[in-house]
Structure formats: structure tokens, C-alpha cells
Structure 1
Amino acid sequence: MQTFLYLSLIPESLIASMLPPEQFGAYYATGTQKRSRGRALFFEVKRDFASDYLKLDQIEKRCVPHEDGRPRKSSYLSIYRVLEHVPLEALGKLYLITDDGKMLALEPQEYAVKDEDPVHLYQEICPLRPRVASTLNPSAFCQRITDRNEPVSVDKIVFCELALDGLAQDPAEAKADNLPYPNIAHLRDCLLAVKNDPTKKTKTVVRSMPGDLMYRTIKHGFFVGGGGKMLYYPMPGMDQLQREYYEWWRSAESSMG
């Protein structure tokens, strides 16, 4: 049986499995008996890289079929500092799994700056999970948070940009009726703090991601970067989601809580 390698983002872990991505995603989100439910985000990882930290030589020893021949669904290889030890070149598709096991696969593409809004809102996903207001575009934000000369930094980061609608241009006065974030007044204060102070590039809005990531709030897509490089995984637009990925979108919307 073929063995696959996955990098889970929530929680961060490296998992070997005999299940291909679609089957693994359904299993990971709902469990074997369909009695547990939870969203999942994971990368498929190419196995052609070496690591002194990750125990890749254990894959064939640990991820073996059960005695009755059933495929091994998951074998955890690491649960700590996984992302920083997986080269960006080894990352394949990013899979977004709803809590009932529906899957959307995103392909990496070159990133081109989409807009020059004065302020942005980022949700860090792995290994950190704060929600951050910033004046930096995604590429500059990624470079800053992975610059090891900065006092607060990490080797690699996975994050997404969240929609702000009119607040991206006018945090003080624009309407925010369609934004599902808690404590809009506090969000406005954080956006104004970075917009009005040229020396302040980022400000934490929420210390840790509150609950599940709401897919409908994602502005352009997901980013993963470090060491001066960045991969961009664009999210389909609303029209495309409803037209081409309706089952996934309906599941994602119905499970927001």
C-alpha cells in the first residue's frame, strides 16, 4: 500500500497514513465511527526531503497495515516544531476539510499584490494563532514575522488574510454590519492604531484564534512562508465556490456555529 505524508496545521503534527487525501480528510475530521466532528487543515507533503529532526525513517516501520489487512489510517511522527522542519518545496496541496468531512483542495500559485489597502487583518494559523492588524501586505507581513532578527519571530508561518470590507479603507467610520468578528469596536481601535502610527506595523487583536476559522471571511487565500520565500494558496471566489464547489461550501456555511 502507498504511504502518504501529511502536515496538519490544527493541531500541528506530521502524520503518515495509508489513506489518500480525500479519505484521510474525511477520517481526520469525523473519526472512524463518525462520532467526532472538527474542521481540519493539512498539507500533503512530498517525501523526497531529508530531516535530522523529523523521524522520517520511521514511516515504513510504523505506518503498516493492521493484522487483518486494513490500511493504517494515521501514525503520528511528530507533534512539535513540525512546520519549521518541512521545506517549503516539500509542501503540496493544502486541504480544507469541513467538520463533516467535505474537502476543498488548494494549489499553490505565485502571489501578486492584490490591493494596497491601508490596513489588513491576518489570522495566524501555525505555529502561532493570534489575530493581527497590520499595515503590511501579505508578503511584507510574512517577511517580518519570519525575520529571525526581530525579537518576536518564527522560522515559518501559515496565515490567511481576513476580509475587512469598508474597514480596510476607513476603520473609524465604515459600516461593519456584515463582518462576523466579535468586539468590532476593539477591532476598529486596533486598525486605527496601526494606520495612524507609521512606526507601528502590527498590533494583536486577539491573542488566539477564537474557535474554528470561518472560511467565508478569508479574503484572498492562505500563505506559508519563511526564509525569504512564500507560497500562496488562493481561495476560490464566492461565485466559483457556489458554482463549482457547492457541496463543500454548503457544508462550510452550515457548520459555522
Structure 2
Amino acid sequence: MSEKHIYMILHPSNFLIASSLTPDELGKHYLTGSNQYFNGKLIFAEIDLEYRNPYFEIEWALGELVPHQDGRPKATKFISAYRVLENMDFKVIKNLYLASSTGAVMELEERPFESYKNPSAFKIFAGITPLKILAMSTESFIQYGSNITQSKTKGAPKCFYTQIEFDANEFQKDFKDHPLMPSPIPGVHPAILDKAIEEIKTNPDKISKGIKLYSSFHEFPSRLIRHGFLFTSKDEHKFYPMPPLSEIEDKFYSYFKSM
């Protein structure tokens, strides 16, 4: 009898599925072997198999994981594709998985968040789901999430996002000397970054500035991810740190090669 899993897909879209595949197999399935082929990054989390919620028809979907007539396991069965994260309990989210475009998978474990010194006051946050806005902010990694989950105009009850490596001091120095320089942030013109920094500097009441309506997270090399990934709501957060490059190379070499 094939094993059963519940996965929450976080990127490129947010949906909940039942599956007979292991995390490694799921990454390869969506990125290299599925009719629903996706050319890019895949992020998903495994959900406790005992989890039940009236919003999700989990029991039905698990019952649909019947092997094909030739013995192949049933790869996936959709449970929901609408307001999934909003209706998910953080406590049942297990490990997080990043899959490269080649189907290589890296596993991340939850850890307490540790505060790190930033090279400048200006940080860049990339929304992954349900908000996909790319924003600049003077808030900390945790504070930013706390505020967007309480905002009625630009927020959502629960969010999943990351912080992108960015040194505003170094950037502005380089931009002043080389105005035609390539942008350190994929998909964003350097002039937009410079304008956002100056706008926040000159407005004491402004702590965040949207710089792109769609974060284009798929364009960011994994090496640009600072800290890791955060699930957040107004009451709680769940943090998955990005390992140092040396650890990724040692434990997840196939994924490392794709970075």
C-alpha cells in the first residue's frame, strides 16, 4: 500500500493537495515529469497527516489516493486552491521544501528566529503568498509581517514571505557613481530603488514603500534569500532559516548546483 501525504504548495500558487509521493518525488513530479509542468522554483510544506479542518475535504482526498491500474502511485489529488494559507493552522505545518527548476529538493526545518544585524536600515521583502508585493521597509523581518497581517488595505490575515539580500548604503554609493549599473534586485530598475530609499528618508511617517506589485520571486536566485522564510499572522509566526551555503553544498549538493 502506498504512503500518503498532505502538502501545502506555497509557490508558484497556494493550494492544498493529497499525494502518494515523498517530498523528493513531488519536487521532481511538478518540475520535470508532470502534465502540469512548471518551469521555475517550487516551494511546499508537508502538513501533519492527522490534520483535519471543516474548510478542507482532506479525508475525501486521501481516500482518492488509489494506485493506477499499472501499479503506479496516484501522484496528487487537489483538496483546495482558494484561501488555503488563511485557513491553515501553523502548528500542523511540518518541514518546508524548496525545489529548483531541475527538480532538486532541499528540506528546511523550523527554528526560533534570531535577530541579525542588517547592513542598513532599508530592507526588501518579497511576498510569496497570498500577497506577492515587493516592498522596501525600515521594519525588522518579524515586524514587517506583523504589520501586513493587521493591515486592512494592503494586508492579509496570514502571509508567507522572505527577505532579499540588499545593502542600501552600498547600493546608493554604487548608483551615484554608476547610474547605468545593473540592478541588485531582479526586475527592478535601480532608479526605482534609489527613489524608494529617498522617499522613506524624507518622510518620517513612512516606514514602507511598495516597489513592485508582483515580487517576481521566481527570478531571485536562492543565494539572495536573507534569513529564510516566515509564516506570519498577527498572533504568531513560524520561521524556517536558510542554511549557509557550505551546509547546502554538503547536505543538498544537487540543489546547491542550481543556485
Alpha-carbon distance between aligned partners in 1 of 2:37 and 2:30, rounded to the nearest angstrom: 12
Is contact 2:147–2:234 with CA below 8 Å preserved after alignment? no
Name the structure 1 match of 2:173. Answer: 173
The one-character-per-residue Cα deviations of 1:172-219 (angstroms, maximum 9, x if unpaired) are: 325676825331111121133224323112111111022613211111
Match of 1:186 among 192, 195, 212: 192
Q: Secondary structure at the match of 1:173?
A: helix
Alpha-carbon distance between aligned partners in 1 of 2:254 and 2:183, rounded to the nearest angstrom: 23
Displacement of 1:7? 0.6
Q: Which runs of 5+ in 2 are unaligned?
A: 176-180
The one-character-per-residue Cα deviations of 1:93-139 (angstroms, maximum 9, x if unpaired) are: 11110111001111110012112541110000001111110111011
Change (3 A) 1:192 1:108: farther
Name the structure 2 match of 1:255. Answer: none
Task: Tell me whether 76-85 or 59-68 shows the greater mean CA deviation.
Answer: 59-68
Percent of aligned pairs sharing the same letter: 24
Match of 2:257 among 243, 250, 253: 250
Is contact 1:30–1:38 with CA below 8 Å preserved after alignment? no
Name the structure 2 match of 1:8. Answer: 9
The residue type paired with residue 198 of structure 2 is L
Alpha-carbon distance between aligned partners in 2 of 1:11 and 1:23, rounded to the nearest angstrom: 19
Change (3 A) 1:178 1:237: farther
* 2:152 pairs with 1:146: no
Alpha-carbon distance between aligned partners in 1 of 2:228 and 2:102, rounded to the nearest angstrom: 22
Q: Secondary structure at the match of 1:47?
A: coil
Task: Tell me whether 57-66 or 198-207 shows the greater mean CA deviation.
Answer: 57-66
The residue type paired with residue 223 of structure 2 is R
Displacement of 1:247? 2.3
With the length of structure 2 as denominator, give the TM-score of the two structures: 0.88
Is contact 2:128–2:217 with CA below 8 Å preserved after alignment? no
Runs of 4+ in 1 over 6 A off after TM superposition: none
Match of 1:208 among 211, 214, 223: 214
Name the structure 1 match of 2:238. Answer: 231
Displacement of 1:251? 1.8
Question: How large is the RMSD of aligned CA atoms in angstroms?
Answer: 2.2
Q: Secondary structure at the match of 2:199?
A: helix
Name the structure 1 match of 2:104. Answer: 102
Name the structure 2 match of 1:134. Answer: 137
Name the structure 1 match of 2:164. Answer: 162
Alpha-carbon distance between aligned partners in 2 of 1:46 and 1:242, rounded to the nearest angstrom: 29
Alpha-carbon distance between aligned partners in 1 of 2:241 and 2:38, rounded to the nearest angstrom: 29
With the length of structure 1 as denominator, give the TM-score of the two structures: 0.88
Name the structure 1 match of 2:76. Answer: 74
Change (3 A) 1:125 1:35: closer
Is contact 2:96–2:240 with CA below 8 Å preserved after alignment? yes
The residue type paired with residue 144 of structure 2 is F
Is contact 2:61–2:78 with CA below 8 Å preserved after alignment? no
Name the structure 1 match of 2:178. Answer: none
Between the two proteins, the alignment pairs up a number of residues equal to 249
Task: Tell me whether 15-24 or 107-116 shows the greater mean CA deviation.
Answer: 107-116
Name the structure 1 match of 2:125. Answer: 122
Is contact 2:31–2:39 with CA below 8 Å preserved after alignment? yes
Change (3 A) 1:23 1:209: same
The residue type paired with residue 135 of structure 2 is V
The residue type paired with residue 197 of structure 1 is N
The residue type paired with residue 225 of structure 1 is T
Q: Which runs of 5+ in 1 are unaligned?
A: 253-257
